[in-house]
Amino acid sequence: MAKGKVRNHIKALRAETGGMTQSQLAEAVGATRQTIIAIEQEKYAPSLELAFRISLAFGVPFEAVFSFEP
> Is the distance from CB of 61 to CB of 51 less than 8 angstroms?
no
Residue boundaries of the structural domains of the chain: 12-58
What is residue 52's predicted lDDT score, i.e. its pLDDT?
Answer: 98
pLDDT tens digit sequence for 22-48: 999 999 999 999 999 999 999 999 999
Q: What is the pLDDT of residues 49-64, one digit of tens each?
A: 999 999 999 999 999 9
The three state secondary structure string of 4-52 is CEEEECHHHHHHHCCCCCHHHHHHHHCCCHHHHHHHHCCCCCCCHHHHH
